[in-house]
Structure 1
């Protein structure tokens, strides 16, 4: 993190209409938040009491959120409104850990206190934190948005008055995903607990001495987690999507939530949650397809702004050009059976792996690796996909249970290790099934970039809230694809689609050439699989008197056959937010270059700061901060700090994750009203396995007390 202060032009967000902030939406949120706290009962909501450090217990603010997303062709603009209600008689600072899509370009934030609207600006991260803390200590209303990961953010809101509701509104831009003729949009709603490898200070000195902490910010990426067996879900979410696809629509559906769909026109849909407010405990996914015969032949868009033009091209190679004879494959299946996979997730993963085994063809070879905080392979090396080997692998998979930590690095390296690099006639693929609930993503990216060789890595996200940043970026570095399976009902269809891609030859040696000067992302194009498009963004500055953007030429090979297509960029349709999408992608590339050593940390940080400040984006090095000018909290009044609790992702097993013998706070108010399990308070901040360390500690304390009593009694007898 840079300590120097960097100044530069700040990109201020366009103001929103005041009625968007203070109208029916806020009223609806207040309705969701309203009403007296529920009585604390087993399985009920209760009043959530939290501790922070050694301070006295404080009731957590209530939170309700609304997501309003406008989809326009290839991009989406989202407005997330969070309402924090303080039901106590104290002044409170609330901190909330929340997820966003991994490609979200967060560029605007507004704080609403009463009838006052305070617009945030983007600042270098340390400066924003200092300004926020100074305003908090002075009693001013303030809010701070910080990125902890590209898909994980914290929102701190200071000086929420007794009985008061404060509104924080965040905006971001993202791209729409496409695979074949299916378009999709995903909104994460819960920050899943993440496993963090132990810091070196807690390891034996002989184990890699001097190695840095693999997760130096481990305390920043965890919040308290509610046990769903004892408490009703919190943090209700409402959702509305205005979908303008740009072509006549066919099906519009969600596999994760019940929705209502209105059709104002043939190319527009309005989507809402059927049940109104829903628990924030799983990702929301929306998919849509074009009407028969209405699929767009070309996805080419541009945005003009401040003398530059940004172009977004989405191109899918023709499936008819693919040869029929696929090459034999070596497929290594890796399955995560750690504690976070407990519940329905392990069943999804096992079912997915069995589907994958059934799709192997004669001539293919395979192996299976399982891992938690240990790892095990079924065979010493890849073996023929014959009936005996497949039966042995299926028995192994059937016996797997979720337990232990998520030590992902060793099994990843084992799967990437190529024992037969000379066999160039075979395709080598790794299918990695996990929820990705780890905090040391950087080590995973570095390993993939350094050790992938000729292997292609396919990530399969399991469960209701997988770590999309890890999964998608690891797949990009591994020149594979990312598939998400949110429920058991999706296993057959999603795995079939993935395995068809794996079985289909890829477009290799892909290259993009612009006829005019352009700053292009991605710098290195991936391999392409059947139905999988390539998305390229470029910023261009047309010369004076020569406004043409020229052409984009894509070349590659399909098997042994050359493939080439030329796009006239001047035919691009007008699009919104493409410049921010380009900047966000360039920032991601700079982060990857730093992690993999292709850029020095200083050069990477300088590039990220320049892009973030120019485009007003929240990054690892920049934050959005909003500060009211007038102090509100009376001088001398205490400010209580509360970390808002999170739901456990739907389908996760609380006991498999945290262990059965979870510690109870001795405070009787805490015990009666609510039981929160903060991960950071459990030694190392990571999901725990079922151990008996608490029992042993208590037993040790009892034995120590008995020893002291016996010693005192012995001295009295001696006298």
Structure 2
């Protein structure tokens, strides 16, 4: 197949990105051949449209409830019709793939649209699109437009990223060639149009990497940015200039036999960097575990003075895997919780208790029931300790770590086995290294159908986002923020007109309707994610069923492919030698979203 055209166009309005990918493939062979379109998708993205076009005939995929989609697919296959089916589950990495058989001399066009909210990490938003046509393309274009109401501080295009963990290709330290950036106060345009010669210079297969744009916004109002359109609102809260709150952090590190070798070397390397970055007013301790548990400083955490940090670095042979050994996750969690609760939780100044838990396996010693571990952790952490789970490698029980984090004020993250695993570990720690606020409560008078409004922590360089609807008839929108920080309680109040932000366009678009639509779709996107997360945490069958029903109804209304819906294509008529045949089977389907659970 010859690729004549490959285009990616992303429109970002106030952090909400809508991306449209189109590729045209031409069969240059004398017989019918299978064309394959596959694309790496951001983990948090929802597909919103997919179309196959051949000989000016359009086949548009429908989003259906997942069981109904499966039924439609099976029925079409039973009747001998051409069909394809795609579903997605909660995953970390996502792939979209479709195959189509096209007759000699004909061409096929694949078009895919997806949407995502860009999250702020370490003071920047990052938008990455996969550019992997797998050949040199006659016409290749990536175009990104960014519109931000409060202003754009900076825009930066990174070198092409050639691996999931951030490796780079031949253009090591440079912006990709044929990249043009135009930045105004509220609008930025980025265009990447490599020539066939430049594509061939990158690799024999053409461009094979992620085109990555980073930027940050101006946010002068400490109360944040509130935008209201068509009865929906979004509130971006990211106050700048706050002093960090000191922390009491306990690192819990798996030293069972499976950590032996490269994993442990990378963990040690990361710990050296992380401990060196602790503030002298912070406190810390280290718990190691296999089928036994060892607390470095029994009793309570100690101040992160230079002397104490050097002391750990000289005795870090405690990070020595035992061979063979099991993994007692339950006991390790309880010992770490004991250290944090024995240390005064409210000294002067306040220190935020954090528990960072790293493992590469499943619970195989002591209490092995996930349900029992969750209950024990919840009781031990008492709703005041934030747990951050790091699942190192494919064998780690990511599902358990995710539940532990969600139920205990934290998040879970995968650490991929790669040469830069130490950088992944230190990178995650950097995100939570500087807590600025804790127990943040955002409330909205005349706000209804709200997404999450309570946040355990606000870290330097991040952002808290709430979306919702404005009650019918409301003319003023009252916002109150209550939180705790370095100087004690922080309280902010703000009143804005319910139609204050609808009066004018901003950024790159002169279309007020386009600007207004993003808030409603962002609300739906966020609400679905909240419902699915609540379903994941719930142990009540009836509650789970209601949450799934609500998430399904919203997914169908906004045409989102989510863990409760699927994408299905059924071609009603067969035409010899000129039809796209996206033929799949349920496991594995030819049209699918893939990833590791």
TM-score, normalised to structure 2, is 0.68
Residue 429 of structure 1 is matched in structure 2 by 354
Distance across 1 between alignment mates of 2:439 and 2:572:
56
- Identify if the C-alpha distance between structure 1 residues 598 and 407 changes in structure 2 by more than 3 Å, giving closer, same or farther: same
Q: CA deviation at 1:108?
A: 1.6
Partner secondary structure for residue 630 of structure 1: coil
Residue 367 of structure 2 is matched in structure 1 by none
The reply on whether 1:557 has 2:478 as its aligned counterpart is no
Q: CA deviation at 1:627?
A: 2.2
Residue 221 of structure 1 is matched in structure 2 by none
Q: CA deviation at 1:350?
A: 4.0
Residue 27 of structure 1 is matched in structure 2 by 4
Residue 35 of structure 1 is matched in structure 2 by none
Q: After superposition, where does 1:293-442 map in structure 2 within 5 Å?
A: 297=221, 298-304=224-230, 309-320=231-242, 322=243, 326-327=245-246, 329-334=248-253, 349-360=267-278, 361=280, 364-369=283-288, 379=296, 381=298, 384=302, 386=308, 389-391=311-313, 394-397=316-319, 413=333, 417-422=337-342, 423-425=344-346, 427-432=352-357
- Identify if the C-alpha distance between structure 1 residues 411 and 310 changes in structure 2 by more than 3 Å, giving closer, same or farther: farther
Q: Is the Cα contact below 8 Å between 2:37 and 2:97 reproduced in 1?
A: yes
Distance across 2 between alignment mates of 1:395 and 1:77:
49
Q: CA deviation at 1:118?
A: 1.5
**Aligned pair partner of 1:589 in 530, 535, 546:** 530
Distance across 2 between alignment mates of 1:336 and 1:167:
51
- Identify if the C-alpha distance between structure 1 residues 463 and 158 changes in structure 2 by more than 3 Å, giving closer, same or farther: closer
Distance across 2 between alignment mates of 1:81 and 1:434:
41
Residue 578 of structure 1 is matched in structure 2 by 519
Q: After superposition, where does 1:606-621 map in structure 2 within 5 Å?
A: 606-621=549-564
The structure whose Rg is larger is 1
**Aligned pair partner of 2:16 in 75, 89, 99:** 75
Distance across 2 between alignment mates of 1:167 and 1:535:
37
Residue 59 of structure 2 is matched in structure 1 by 118
Residue 574 of structure 2 is matched in structure 1 by 631
- Identify if the C-alpha distance between structure 1 residues 342 and 173 changes in structure 2 by more than 3 Å, giving closer, same or farther: farther
- Identify if the C-alpha distance between structure 1 residues 468 and 173 changes in structure 2 by more than 3 Å, giving closer, same or farther: farther
The reply on whether 1:603 has 2:525 as its aligned counterpart is no
- Identify if the C-alpha distance between structure 1 residues 456 and 420 changes in structure 2 by more than 3 Å, giving closer, same or farther: closer
Residue 242 of structure 1 is matched in structure 2 by 144
Q: CA deviation at 1:364?
A: 2.0
Q: Is the Cα contact below 8 Å between 1:181 and 1:295 reproduced in 2?
A: no
Question: What is the root-mean-square deviation of aligned Cα atoms in Å?
Answer: 5.3
Q: CA deviation at 1:549?
A: 5.1
Q: Is the Cα contact below 8 Å between 1:67 and 1:79 reproduced in 2?
A: yes
Distance across 1 between alignment mates of 2:572 and 2:260:
47
The reply on whether 1:264 has 2:182 as its aligned counterpart is yes
- Identify if the C-alpha distance between structure 1 residues 102 and 157 changes in structure 2 by more than 3 Å, giving closer, same or farther: closer
Q: Is the Cα contact below 8 Å between 2:40 and 2:130 reproduced in 1?
A: yes
Residue 198 of structure 1 is matched in structure 2 by none
- Identify if the C-alpha distance between structure 1 residues 497 and 134 changes in structure 2 by more than 3 Å, giving closer, same or farther: closer
- Identify if the C-alpha distance between structure 1 residues 490 and 623 changes in structure 2 by more than 3 Å, giving closer, same or farther: closer
Q: Is the Cα contact below 8 Å between 2:482 and 2:490 reproduced in 1?
A: yes
- Identify if the C-alpha distance between structure 1 residues 241 and 131 changes in structure 2 by more than 3 Å, giving closer, same or farther: same
Q: CA deviation at 1:535?
A: 0.9
Residue 537 of structure 1 is matched in structure 2 by 467
The reply on whether 1:184 has 2:126 as its aligned counterpart is yes
Q: Is the Cα contact below 8 Å between 2:4 and 2:24 reproduced in 1?
A: no
Q: CA deviation at 1:314?
A: 0.8
Q: CA deviation at 1:610?
A: 1.9
Residue 565 of structure 2 is matched in structure 1 by 622
Q: Is the Cα contact below 8 Å between 1:91 and 1:640 reproduced in 2?
A: no
Partner secondary structure for residue 390 of structure 1: helix
Distance across 1 between alignment mates of 2:328 and 2:127:
28
- Count, aligned residues: 520
- Identify if the C-alpha distance between structure 1 residues 565 and 346 changes in structure 2 by more than 3 Å, giving closer, same or farther: same
Q: CA deviation at 1:169?
A: 2.6
